[in-house]
Amino acid sequence: MIHSLFLINASGDIFLEKHWKSVVSRSVCDYFFEAQERATEPENVPPVIPTPHHYLISVLRHRIFFVAVIQSEVPPLFVIEFLHRVVDTFQDYFGVCTEAAIKDNVVVVYELLEEMLDNGFPLATESNILKELIKPPTILRTMVNTITGSTNVGEQLPTGQLSVVPWRRTGVKYTNNEAYFDVVEEIDAIIDKSGSTITAEIQGVIDACVKLTGMPDLTLSFMNPRLLDDVSFHPCVRFKRWEAERILSFIPPDGNFRLLSYHVSSQNLVAIPVYVKHNISFREGSSQGRFDLTLGPKQTMGKAVESVLVSSQLPRGVLNANLSASQGTYTFDPVTKLLSWDVGKINPQKLPSLKGTMSLQAGASKPDENPTINIQFKIQQMAISGLKVNRLDMYGEKYKPFKGIKYMTKAGKFQVRT
């Protein structure tokens, strides 16, 4: 199982270590540093690194490497999932997961890690349970603790730990009972030079914020559940009901949680909400290149495309770019060769464009590589797959909750080749 955990910051310092079995010397991280040196970018450090006596499994989140040390055969996904859970918990407790936040709360971090694993076996990883065991630090509570000498460790066994609904504590009370659901979809797509779609798929999630008194039992149904190609549920969802009726039936956890994530595969036709007209060219023998880019909306069902951000890694030979944007601002970093253009909202009447020239090193040959254009955007009030929630019902409690559903579409890895 998981032996130890090392947290390593961007400059390569180990700033926290935790051992669940015997102490593993931090020199084991030298193998990690070697791998880090070989990889050009931090993102390229391989997630599993063998050393003579251990294996190092790492994830990179918020510019911190979480490096787990294991000695025997342990499923790597188990370790990676656990590390993600650690990151999520930190974020949940401290608002952000940064080196400073972790150092500021080092004792809580230590208590948390101790509670999450026992001898390398996961113990309590549900945020609800952890919060009952170890209260999240707030300025107010720390002050109160300092003054009264009380503690931020729960004295009682968490109620959820062993019940049939381990994700929900008993005795929840709210004056305003409310349940909000966000349907968020991300489009991953590769568009080729000519504008046709090579591959496109949709990753969707339904995130919920449920603040309901007692033990509510909810059902949520869709207008078009067959759209969903593959679904993964929060443990609270009754799988049999979904299999039989395509209805989500569940007793929700208290607070924020991810109810469902789903996937709409490339087999289905995926609507592409934006198009790009581009002309990025270099002429042989000339030290100048042309850059011409226009964005436009398509298949958005009348909704506005917002928060548009275009970025592209220009060829290494490009010295500088002299462009003008019809709207928004652009920057070009001559060191990393990264061009990014903050467009904002696309106005269908007046399409945003970015035009101008790129200068090459004098005498250099025409660059071989074709830059890829990366686009980010958001569309409110629309799920691009067409998924629609039909109704939400509550059983088991008498009050009438306030219900709300929001839709949003975002670009995931949305790439246009030139």
Partner 1 sequence: MQALANQLCENRQFGSKMTDSKYFTTTKKGEIFELKAELNSDKKEKKKEAVKKVIASMTVGKDVSALFPDVVNCMQTDNLELKKLVYLYLMNYAKSQPDMAIMAVNTFVKDCEDPNPLIRALAVRTMGCIRVDKITEYLCEPLRKCLKDEDPYVRKTAAVCVAKLHDINAQLVEDQGFLDTLKDLISDSNPMVVANAVAALSEIAESHPNSNLMDLNPQTMNKLLTALNECTEWGQIFILDCLANYTPRDDRESQSICERVTPRLSHANSAVVLSAVKVLMKFMEMLPKDLDYYGTLLKKLAPPLVTLLSAEPELQYVALRNINLIVQRRPEILKHEMKVFYVKYNDPIYVKLEKLDIMIRLASQANIAQVLAELKEYATEVDVDFVRKAVRAIGRCAIKVEQSAERCVSTLLDLIQTKVNYVVQEAIVVIKDIFRKYPNKYESVIATLCENLDSLDEPEARAAMIWIVGEYAERIDNADELLESFLEGFHDESTQVQLQLLTAIVKLFLKKPTETQELVQQVLSLATQDSDNPDLRDRGYIYWRLLSTDPVAAKEVVLAEKPLISEETDLIEPTLLEELICHIGTLASVYHKPPSAFVEGNHGVQHKGLPGSAGSAESESPDAVSAGAATEAPAAVIPSQGDLLGDLLNLDLTPPATTGPLPHSGGMQMGAMDLLGGGLDSLLGGDLGGSPAMGAGFGAPPAAMPPAFSAPVSGSLYDLFDLDNGVGMPLGSFCPPKTVWLPAMKAKGLEISGTFVRHAGVIQMEMTITNKAMSVMTGFAIQFNRNSFGLAPAGPIQVPSPLSPNQNIEVSLPLNTVGPVMKMEPLNNLQVAFKNNIDVFYFSCQYPISVLFAEDGKMERQVFLATWKDIPNENESQFQIKDCHLNSDAASNKLQSINIFTIAERTVDGQDMLYQSMKLTNGIWALAELKVQAGNPNYTVSLKCRAPEVSQCVFQSYEAVLKN
Q: How far is the CB of 213 from partner 1 (least distance, A)?
A: 26
Closer CB to partner 1, 5 or 394, in the complex: 5
CB 262 within 8 A of CB 229: yes
Residues 164, 159: Cα–Cα separation, whole Å: 10
Closer CB to partner 1, 46 or 344, in the complex: 46
Q: What is the DSSP letter of 76?
A: H
Query: 17, exposed or middle or buried, with CB in 10 Å at 0-12, 13-18, 19+?
Result: middle
Residues 215, 409: Cα–Cα separation, whole Å: 32
Give the residue among 278, 267, 270, 264 at the shortest CA–CA distance from 416. Answer: 278
Q: How far is the CB of 225 from partner 1 (least distance, A)?
A: 13
Strands (E), 170-328: 178-191, 197-211, 217-222, 230-233, 247-250, 255-264, 274-282, 288-297, 306-313, 318-325
Q: How far is the CB of 349 from partner 1 (least distance, A)?
A: 32
Closer CB to partner 1, 313 or 326, in the complex: 313
Q: How far is the CB of 131 from partner 1 (least distance, A)?
A: 15
- The angle formed by the CA atoms of residues 72, 74 and 80, to the nearest 5 degrees, is 130
Closer CB to partner 1, 165 or 319, in the complex: 165
CB 410 within 8 A of CB 186: yes
Closer CB to partner 1, 116 or 394, in the complex: 116
Q: How far is the CB of 305 from partner 1 (least distance, A)?
A: 21
Closer CB to partner 1, 126 or 254, in the complex: 126
What tokens appear for 67 in the block? 């490096």
Q: How far is the CB of 408 from partner 1 (least distance, A)?
A: 17
